[in-house]
Amino acid sequence: MATIAEFTDPRLVAIYDTMNPYSADAQPGFYSQLAAEVGAASIVDLGCGTGLITCELARQGYQLIGVDPAPAMLDIARRRCSDRVRWIDGDASRLGTPNAGLAIMTGHVAQFFITDASWHAALTSLAAALRPGGRLAFESRNPGAREWEDWSRDARWSADDPNAGRVETWTEVHDVRDGIITCTGHYAFAATGAELVSPTKLRFRTERELTQSLADAGFAVEREYGDWDRRPVGPTTRELIVVAATADVERRRTAAMVEVAPIDPAHPHARYCISEYFSELDRRFDTGFDPARSIPANEEELRLPAGLLVVATLRGEPIGSGALKFHDNEPAEIKRMWVAESARGLGLGRRILRELEEHAAKHGARPFDSKRTRLWSKRSASIDPRATARSPLSTMSLTRTTGSKSRSATERQSEVMRPLSGPARPAVAAPTRAAASSPSGPRRPSARRSCRFRFGPRRTHRPACAFRLAGGP
């Protein structure tokens, strides 16, 4: 963590709570209601700071783990409460696996992770700290609201600290680039005339970036809100408040261990997969399945240059297969797509298809798009007439094919060219709300929106880099 004076300089840490008051209906209300909703018994608070929210949740009866890399902040937290809280000096890597039901990052902590790598590392540690089905919730300022435009030397406010007296504060923005705001918080102490500064960088991630980064760490976004009153996210709503679930963390971990690679069709793993493929077809069709009636794909035909076979393995065990048969001037065929029952739901079918698609391209096939299907054609741009005349089963549905009892016998036995369906090739994503309104997007008419700071009249505006303006730090 870059050293940020606001969290490390004892003179600034001492006034932190005065300068960063929370409104009960913002973060404190939201996170305590959420804890009740998700039925969490234990909660991790990453970047807990002075423990304002940590101690409030502990007071409500939850078991808390408060983690923060700034010892001076944590000292205040420790003095604030000790019952039902374990305080940890450090970052997310110190969390371990406490099996918590909820993890939170309050006060825009998420924005202090400037690099993708540090953000990913924190999310991965949080995923490991949660029990299966546990939730992660945090807020990040919506770049579409362009809040930094309210931060300036002229937007000052002040507060009276019981010890330090009156402190005036404002924030200067130096640079806005690639979603990172470089700014400096200023603190002018009326009693001593001292002025302290706290230079900071803050990362403003779009809704799309947050969703993607969460998915990369094994989380699925469950809900999103645009503000503390739980309104939906809009292009310029102030917050991106995210609740994500770890439901498929285990699944993703397992999926990450799967290897998909070409293999000789005579290899025992290849033979095993093909025999399982036929057994399953036989089991699933009312009248059984006779391989002799299907389009052949013997071992020679699945060996280069005639074809190719890939096998997926998990911890050395074969769990799926897929093959290609090349035809001169004819579309290539996908064959022997099979995923073991125990491995379904890992996205393996998609992965095998992607692998086959890459191999097909490497060996001279090229994609052919029609309105409804995408076919692989080797040295030919023509659509295979068989594919349209016969049941155009999608390759993705091949594993499902084995479960379809309602198809005709011809359909069931036809292993014609399968049009590759969507997931095999990344689609162009539609812009999200936040992406559509990110910095170049619409702006609010006036910088006076800074008067939304809720603590008293307009003069108590504190736009800062760590700031509790508009509902918290």
Ligand X SMILES: C[S@@+](CC[C@H](N)C(=O)[O-])C[C@H]1O[C@@H](n2cnc3c(N)ncnc32)[C@H](O)[C@@H]1O
Residue 259 to residues 15, 303, 336: CA-CA distances in angstroms? Answer: 54, 20, 17
Of the candidates 119, 137, 122, 124, the one whose C-alpha atom is nearest the C-alpha of residue 243 is 137
Q: Rounded to an integer, what distance in angstroms lies between the CA atom of residue 245 and that of residue 130?
A: 9
* Residue of 466, 469, 470, 471 that binds ligand X (CB under 6 A): 466
* Residue of 26, 48, 81, 319 that binds ligand X (CB under 6 A): 48
Residue 342 CB: number of other CB atoms within 10 A? 10
Q: For 38-184, where are the alpha helices, taking DSSP H only?
A: 52-59, 71-80, 116-129
- Beta strands in 190-252, from DSSP E residues, in sequence order: 195-203, 220-225, 239-245
> Is 106 one of the binding residues for ligand X (CB under 6 A)?
yes
> Is 331 one of the binding residues for ligand X (CB under 6 A)?
no
> Is 43 one of the binding residues for ligand X (CB under 6 A)?
no
> Is 306 one of the binding residues for ligand X (CB under 6 A)?
no
> Is 69 one of the binding residues for ligand X (CB under 6 A)?
yes
Q: For 217-316, where are the alpha helices, taking DSSP H only?
A: 249-257, 268-284
> Is 123 one of the binding residues for ligand X (CB under 6 A)?
no
> Is 73 one of the binding residues for ligand X (CB under 6 A)?
yes
Q: Which of residues 153-212 bind ligand X (CB under 6 A)?
A: none
Dihedrals phi, psi of 108, to nearest 5 degrees: 60, 30
Q: State in angstroms the smallest separation of the CB of 1 from ligand X.
A: 4
Of the candidates 259, 258, 324, the one whose C-alpha atom is nearest the C-alpha of residue 297 is 324
99: left (phi over 0), alpha (psi -120 to 50) or beta: left
DSSP 8-state class, residue 97: -
Q: Which is nearer to ligand X, 167 or 466 (CB)?
A: 466
Strand order in the sheet with 365-369: 259-262, 307-314, 317-327, 330-339, 374-378, 365-369
Q: Is beta strand 100-105 parallel, antiparallel or unpaired with respect to 42-46?
A: parallel
Q: Which is nearer to ligand X, 113 or 277 (CB)?
A: 113
> Is 14 one of the binding residues for ligand X (CB under 6 A)?
no
Amino acid letter at 348? L
Give the residue nearest to ligand X (CB): 49
* Residue of 30, 112, 289, 368 that binds ligand X (CB under 6 A): 112
* Residue of 19, 26, 43, 52 that binds ligand X (CB under 6 A): 52
> Is 126 one of the binding residues for ligand X (CB under 6 A)?
no
Q: State in angstroms the smallest separation of the CB of 112 from ligand X.
A: 4
**Number of chain residues interacting with ligand X (CB under 6 A):** 21
> Is 109 one of the binding residues for ligand X (CB under 6 A)?
yes
Quick check: 319 and 339 in contact, CB under 8 A? yes
Q: State in angstroms the smallest separation of the CB of 53 from ligand X.
A: 5
> Is 121 one of the binding residues for ligand X (CB under 6 A)?
no
Q: Which is nearer to ligand X, 94 or 271 (CB)?
A: 94
Q: State in angstroms the smallest separation of the CB of 295 from ligand X.
A: 57
* Residue of 15, 49, 219, 349 that binds ligand X (CB under 6 A): 49
Longest dimension (CA), the chain: 93
Q: Which is nearer to ligand X, 146 or 468 (CB)?
A: 468
> Is 140 one of the binding residues for ligand X (CB under 6 A)?
no
Q: State in angstroms the smallest separation of the CB of 456 from ligand X.
A: 19
Q: Which parts of this chain interact with ligand X (CB under 6 A)?
A: 1, 7, 46-49, 52-53, 68-70, 73, 91-92, 106-107, 109, 112-113, 466, 473
